[in-house]
Amino acid sequence: MTGELTGQIAVVTGAGRGIGRALAIRFAQAGCEVAAVARTDGQLRETVEIIEAAGGRSIYVVADVTNPHAVQAMVQSVQADLGPIDLLINNAGRALAIGPIWEADPDEWWLDIETNLRGAFLCCRAVIPEMLVRQRGRIINIASGHALGPSPYFYSSSKAALLRLTDCLANELTLQEAGVRVFAVSPGMVETRMTEYLFTSDAGRKWLPQLANVPRGTTDRVVELAVLLASGSADVLSGRFIQIADNVLEMVQHVEKIRQQGLYSLRLHKLPEPNRP
């Protein structure tokens, strides 16, 4: 256990496998007591067993993050078992609506939106009141670089919305002088079950053939970025979208320029106004 975050309580959604499991394990190594959250009991058990075998403390809570009652019950359960929540990592994600809008299944598309956006909203809504009381807390939303440019599938729409949610929430918390910080993070193209579906499904092979040639990385860089943000070293960047290739400590040094120019956030860029007499 490295101890950067000793004594903190972390909730990681989508923690049954992939990036979520890696985040839960790394936060436990950093000294957190970790609540692993997902919909699948068996996968969560495995995550907790890995953490406890390494000497960490963890619990799991089976919950659907798109259900407000389930999310509220999950937060209450974590608070009862571990204590007040210091860190929320909104990692639960879904990407099954593949193809152009005239062929995409509308129900699958909406489920993607519900998981990626509504899920993060509900979890934030459930943990922030206690964070406001304690005047402390950090939230990390796992987003995607696909939110920034043209993308051939609608996962990018939900992740772009997640960037705006992060931005708006950070502004609201700043106005409250709440001591609560929120960030959006892109993990890059990591080899997980979700990304494997994009490469190997019939829809993926038809509509996303270019992804087959995209290098897939590991979870190492995103988990270290998450721990850095959770440590408080980059609190001045609250509301910003940070990718794994970004030099966070350099960003901190240039925070005034970032704020003035609206860098590392979604903004509409327009032609300059014509000169007027």
CA 112 to chain centre: 14
For strands 33-38 and 9-13, give the pairing: parallel
Q: Across-strand partners of 12?
A: 36, 89
CB 32: neighbour CB atoms within 10 A?
Answer: 30
**Which residue type sits at 10?**
A
Residue 231 burial by CB count (10 A; 0-12/13-18/19+): exposed, middle or buried? middle
* Tokens linked to 101: 């809008």
How many angstroms separate the Cα of 163 from the Cα of each of 111, 217, 240? 18, 22, 8
Separation of alpha carbons 40 and 45, rounded Å = 9
Give the residue numbers annotated as catalytic, written as ranges. 155
CB 220: neighbour CB atoms within 10 A?
Answer: 12
**Which residue type sits at 272?**
P
* Tokens linked to 269: 């860029």
* Tokens linked to 232: 């408080």
Largest Cα–Cα separation, the chain: 73
Separation of alpha carbons 136 and 175, rounded Å = 14
